[in-house]
Structure 1
Amino acid sequence: MPNQETEEQTPERASGVASLEEAREWLAARRIEDIECVVPDQAGVARGKMMPVSKFLAGPVMSMPVSIFTQTISGDWPHDDDLFQNDEADRDVLLDPDLSTLAVVPWEEDPTAQLIHDARYADGTPVDIAPRQVLRRVIELYEKRGWRPIVAPEIEFYLVRPNKDPDYPLAPPTGRSGRPETARQSYSIAAINEFDDLFDDIYDFSEKQGLEIDTLIHEEGAAQMEINLRHGDPLGLADQVFQFKRTIREAALRHDMYATFMAKPMSGEPGSAMHIHQSINNIETGTNIFSDADGEPTPAFFSFIGGSQKYLPAVTSILAPYVNSYRRLQRGVSAPVNTEWGYDNRTVGLRVPNSSPAARRVENRIPSSDANPYLAIAASLACGYLGMVGNVSSSEPVSGGANVDEIDLPRGLLEALALFEECEELVDIFGKAFVGTYRAIKHSEFETFMQVISPWEREYLLLNV
């Protein structure tokens, strides 16, 4: 797990310290001049402040307006009377540094560090709509039952040519051969080698930040890649995905490319997912509760799957958070279209990979790569939790192709939001404040989308209706 070692930490560590005094030594050892104090917003975008290290170490109380947690992806704010966090005064919330996330910013020319913060109100109460706090709340539900969730995300993304005019479609970049990809290159080493210099930077940047890449592969699409992270603590892994996205974008810009985590950036190409592998350990024994003493699957394993099957449609608005996300969820392609499950079956929404009993896990293949990692992991774990505490039964496993069947997931953002609001069990977990705020943000984004006329409308309606 990232930043979970128990031994004493030293300034030589790539990232993470345990105290302000250790942070002082860590920053001095690297001659850090500035520090980025960041907070993940609802979209997973880094918001925050830059300040000199001397000011940070002097211990000022940092604050930002609460409205950063209600901002839409287009930079607007919802106009909604039901917005639970609608503070007309837009008061400040206070920021507390999580020193375990301290890391360098390797792409900056001047020595710079970054530090993820949590938000709280003046009375010390955590900001309950902040994504990191939402995930913490779900983890605490597990801990009260004596369980510790373990996750391992896989993040897919595309490399594309710089696109300065959004009216033009995206296209694959040119690699070292001088030619862009045109054919399917799944798992091709040669296709990865086309961008060796870029991946060298990604590995270098990641190592300097203490980010742990397990594997890198070429996916199905043209210049589509996937990075797998090592399994560990859900909050630590969400932090890593948050940092990885930024790292990959910055590395791509150095090589005159964009890296995009859009769910469906190009017509005719596969979508990009964020698969989440999940298992649950007993806190006291450290054993996987999905397997019994004989290595057989337990009732908790099947109930986790049953809860995922029952509740994942109601959190689809979190796992597929934008209008574009639903273009990925189509029949007959690699994306799942339902909540069926199966052993080593990549056409279902819930795959159980081949593994030893100790590593038995459930892979949720529904989330898209545009999802906020904190919220997506929280939503996925919440569904499994409700299944286990409610003893929800799972269906029979599917052995054949399942992504050509009827689509059981919501087909659009508004339908998905309605399911989220109507599910009392999920509202109890996420809180009315978060659900109301999230709905208002997504409704506002949808209205912004409806103001844009698409090429499809010009193609088929302009001269025919």
Structure 2
Amino acid sequence: MNDWTEQLPEAARQYLYGRKLDEVECIVADLAGVARGKAMPAAKFAKQTHFYLPNSIFLQTITGDWADIEGQAFTEPDMILTPDFTTASAAPWTGDYTLQVIHEIADQTGAPVPIAPRNVLKRVVELYNARGWVPIVAPEMEFFLVARNVDPAHPVEPPMGRSGRRAAARQAYSMSAVDEYGPVIDDIYDFAEAQGLEIDGILQEGGAGQVELNLRHGDPVKLADEIFYFKRLIREAALRHDCYATFMAKPIEDEPGSAMHIHHSVVDAKTGHNIFSEPDGSESRAFLHFIAGLQTHIPAVTAILAPYVNSYRRYVPDFAAPINLEWARDNRTTGLRVPVSEPESRRAENRLAGMDCNPYLGIAASLACGYLGLMDGIYPKDEFKGDAYASAEGIPRNVAEALDLFEAAPALHEVLGPEFCRVYAAVKRLEYKEFLQVISPWEREHLLLNV
């Protein structure tokens, strides 16, 4: 084997055992979480230590336009990308033997590019580490399998199951509902195994064709890498079976939306103990500080947790998506939930993030809120009792309002990075402006001849 292949994780080495590697995909996640980069023959990859991409990939909207950043010339300087071999993973859906490798991103002086989403998350994790803390996350991924939709003007429909009927809604936790699209699930498992990705469980959610995939807890950067990979492999598994997988927050009218619930705990780096629990097993003050940080600062990072116009269609009262900032123990109607657990695994669950957010940025934003709560030593409101769906709304309800709050949050800017926040806001403002130019079918139906 060549020297570089000896640095590969065990799963990647097993995938290549006795096979000839054909291609390497050198990738990074852009602001939307889309994989950008270059593919090259394995022989060429073996001969180079890095490659270049322009920084404009982080200035691009989801529609492909580029934002102008005030005071910054659009010269597209090159960034230097070097492979992080710990992320090397198979691309088992390809026709030949291909590896994917996520790359580190630095400027030409060697400093981390501050607007790269993976670097934003690393920055937040390093703030925890500087305090002697190790943040732990466990994400939950919700997504829909849907029928092929080649005409954007046509509504999205559930997929056809093996029974010959379309997937039905209101079948949460039904095993027979999962069996309806079992071949897709089987490929998800097979692809994940080939990539060395561990699945904690798969279940049917409440929407028609809606699936939830749980990941085990661990390092935030590693888990964000895995979600980045999972989104791609799930899409590929669906395409093999004549359907799409979508991570839109709200792809189907009158169905629940898809969330990325994030479970948080924090460990003392020296002792390995969960700082959310006291030695006697009771809840610590740090636990309440963390919850208070989420409660206080989530409105200002909603622009990250809910990045698109469609994201806010998920926030519908009494429709399985909390839109409040209440917290409670074992209560899924609150935006902030404390799951049932033993003291060593005590955690806080942020239920507000959408599955359409960039996993690096969504986790970074949630951790940033908790970090500020820990640093400021603040306390949350009293625990909510009862059905929080009936409580006051606590988050912005559209992109413009969310961006206003995001831009007026200097404490969060210091945690996430001022330059990143400036660029992110500019890109999202441009996306929203582009959306406002579109005339919807609703407008044509109800306004064309009536007003």
1:9-48 to structure 2, matched below 5 A, reads: 13-15=10-12, 29-48=18-37
> Which residue of structure 2 aligns with residue 222 of structure 1?
208
Alpha carbon RMSD of aligned pairs, Å? 1.5
SS in 2 for 1:151: strand
CA distance in 2 between partners of 1:87 and 1:45 (Å):
24
CA distance in 1 between partners of 2:285 and 2:209 (Å):
41
> What letter is aligned with 2:179?
N
| Matching of residue 318 in structure 1 with residue 304 in structure 2 | yes
> What letter is aligned with 2:11?
A
> What letter is aligned with 1:58?
K
CA distance in 2 between partners of 1:209 and 1:191 (Å):
26
> Which residue of structure 2 aligns with residue 380 of structure 1?
366
**Normalised by the size of structure 1, how large is the TM-score?**
0.94
CA distance in 1 between partners of 2:233 and 2:327 (Å):
33
CA distance in 2 between partners of 1:414 and 1:158 (Å):
27
CA distance in 2 between partners of 1:97 and 1:155 (Å):
27
Runs of 5+ consecutive residues of structure 1 not aligned to the other structure: 1-8, 16-22
Task: Work out whether residues 323 and 394 of structure 2, in 8 Å CA contact, stay in contact via their aligned partners in 1.
Answer: yes
> Which residue of structure 1 aligns with residue 52 of structure 2?
63
SS in 1 for 2:53: strand
CA distance in 1 between partners of 2:415 and 2:23 (Å):
38
State the shift of 1:10 in Å: 8.2
Task: Work out whether residues 184 and 220 of structure 1, in 8 Å CA contact, stay in contact via their aligned partners in 2.
Answer: yes
Task: Work out whether residues 161 and 172 of structure 1, in 8 Å CA contact, stay in contact via their aligned partners in 2.
Answer: yes
Gap change, CA 1:404 and 1:459, over 3 Å in 2: farther
Task: Work out whether residues 134 and 430 of structure 1, in 8 Å CA contact, stay in contact via their aligned partners in 2.
Answer: yes
Gap change, CA 1:183 and 1:368, over 3 Å in 2: closer
Task: Work out whether residues 12 and 26 of structure 1, in 8 Å CA contact, stay in contact via their aligned partners in 2.
Answer: no
> Which residue of structure 2 aligns with residue 437 of structure 1?
423
**Normalised by the size of structure 2, how large is the TM-score?**
0.96
CA distance in 1 between partners of 2:8 and 2:70 (Å):
50
Gap change, CA 1:28 and 1:210, over 3 Å in 2: closer
Deviations 1:16-60 (A, max 9, x none): xxxxxxx8x986754211000001000000000001111111124
Give the counterpart of 1:266 among 231, 239, 252. 252
1:86-105 to structure 2, matched below 5 A, reads: 86-105=72-91
State the shift of 1:419 in Å: 0.6
CA distance in 1 between partners of 2:265 and 2:93 (Å):
35
Deviations 1:104-137 (A, max 9, x none): 1000011110000121111101100000000000
State the shift of 1:399 in Å: 2.5
Deviations 1:241-262 (A, max 9, x none): 0000000000000000000000
| Matching of residue 207 in structure 1 with residue 196 in structure 2 | no
| Matching of residue 248 in structure 1 with residue 237 in structure 2 | no
> Which residue of structure 1 aligns with residue 332 of structure 2?
346
> What letter is aligned with 1:111?
Y
Task: Work out whether residues 295 and 357 of structure 1, in 8 Å CA contact, stay in contact via their aligned partners in 2.
Answer: yes
CA distance in 1 between partners of 2:8 and 2:42 (Å):
16
Give the counterpart of 1:424 among 395, 410, 428. 410
Deviations 1:94-113 (A, max 9, x none): 10111100111000011110
State the shift of 1:12 in Å: 8.0
Give the counterpart of 2:352 among 360, 363, 366. 366
State the shift of 1:183 in Å: 3.9
CA distance in 1 between partners of 2:401 and 2:300 (Å):
9
> Which residue of structure 1 aligns with residue 3 of structure 2?
none
> Which residue of structure 2 aligns with residue 139 of structure 1?
125
> What letter is aligned with 1:165?
D
| Matching of residue 124 in structure 1 with residue 113 in structure 2 | no
Gap change, CA 1:30 and 1:404, over 3 Å in 2: farther
CA distance in 2 between partners of 1:339 and 1:70 (Å):
31
Gap change, CA 1:31 and 1:433, over 3 Å in 2: same
State the shift of 1:463 in Å: 1.7
CA distance in 2 between partners of 1:132 and 1:267 (Å):
33
CA distance in 2 between partners of 1:237 and 1:154 (Å):
11
> Which residue of structure 1 aligns with residue 174 of structure 2?
188
Task: Work out whether residues 11 and 26 of structure 1, in 8 Å CA contact, stay in contact via their aligned partners in 2.
Answer: no
Deviations 1:382-408 (A, max 9, x none): 000100110011111112111222321
CA distance in 2 between partners of 1:103 and 1:309 (Å):
37
Task: Work out whether residues 7 and 85 of structure 2, in 8 Å CA contact, stay in contact via their aligned partners in 1.
Answer: no
Deviations 1:395-426 (A, max 9, x none): 11112111222321001111111111111100
| Matching of residue 159 in structure 1 with residue 145 in structure 2 | yes
CA distance in 2 between partners of 1:458 and 1:133 (Å):
44
Runs of 5+ consecutive residues of structure 2 not aligned to the other structure: 1-5
> Which residue of structure 1 aligns with residue 319 of structure 2?
333
| Matching of residue 461 in structure 1 with residue 447 in structure 2 | yes
State the shift of 1:455 in Å: 1.7
CA distance in 2 between partners of 1:349 and 1:382 (Å):
17
> Which residue of structure 2 aligns with residue 4 of structure 1?
none
